[in-house]
Amino acid sequence: MALDAAALHQIRPMSEEDLDQVSAIEAATFPDPWPRHALAHEALRNPFCWAFVIGPEGSVAGYAFLWVLYEQAHLINIAVAREQRGHGFGEALLVHILQYARAQGGEKIHLEVRESNEAAIALYIKHGFEVLGRKNKYYSDGAPALMMEADITRPRPGPKERSGG
Ligand SMILES: CC(C)(COP(=O)(O)OP(=O)(O)OC[C@H]1O[C@@H](n2cnc3c(N)ncnc32)[C@H](O)[C@@H]1OP(=O)(O)O)[C@@H](O)C(=O)NCCC(=O)NCCS
């Protein structure tokens, strides 16, 4: 049965059943991936962490981890399976994260991103993030990170509500 766009873009809280797929995407995506037990701890046991997956029920196209500590939110991680990129999953997840962080009382959201990661940086800038600074040798391979921040006190339009630019 063909899946419609709404089903494909379904976002749900990460569950124990999603962890094998999340862990596989994490391992295939990052040079210094979080091990499965760390992903499980964050998703299922850290009371300050909210983790989401996107994709039809039983299937994970991408995921994101958010921490909210009072008015400060932090996007810990966001990733889409390589073969699923470029179809709007990452943007749908980010919009959801921003709305969720705001609903939890977040006023600012921060993240770190590899300076060379053009796709992620473009996504963040598209959704209101600005570069705050740079951390030298932030990653285990010595690469620098950009620190980015967005104001989430005002709701921003989702991808489908945007018109141009
Ligand atoms: C960053 C990432 C999550 C984007 O997910 P995606 O589903 O491929 O992105 P989308 O299809 O939703 O694209 C949304 C926006 O992201 C940006 N973008 C996505 N891919 C891009 C690319 N290859 N080059 C430049 N910008 C890109 C664009 O701004 C795009 O908006 P547009 O289509 O209007 O130009 C995905 O590339 C990924 O998983 N990368 C590896 C993990 C990673 O780097 N995570 C970030 C850690 S800080």
- Protein residue with its CA nearest to atom 1 in ligand 1: 120
pLDDT at 159 (0 to 100): 61
pLDDT at 3 (0 to 100): 44
pLDDT at 2 (0 to 100): 39
**Which residues are identified as catalytic?**
112, 124
How high is the mean pLDDT in each 10-residue block of the chain (165 residues)? 58 97 98 96 97 93 96 98 96 96 96 98 98 96 97 76 45
Q: Which of 22, 89, 123, 138 to mutate to test the pocket of ligand 1 (most atoms within 8 A of CB)?
A: 123
Q: What is the pTM of this model?
A: 0.93
Contacts of 19 (CB under 8 A, 6+ apart): 36, 39, 40, 43
Q: How far is the CA of 88 from the centre of ligand 1 (A)?
A: 8
Domains of the chain: 5-157 (3.40.630.30)
Structure letter (DSSP) for residue 77:
E
pLDDT at 5 (0 to 100): 58
Q: Which atom of ligand 1 is nearest to the CA of 125?
A: 29
pLDDT at 56 (0 to 100): 87
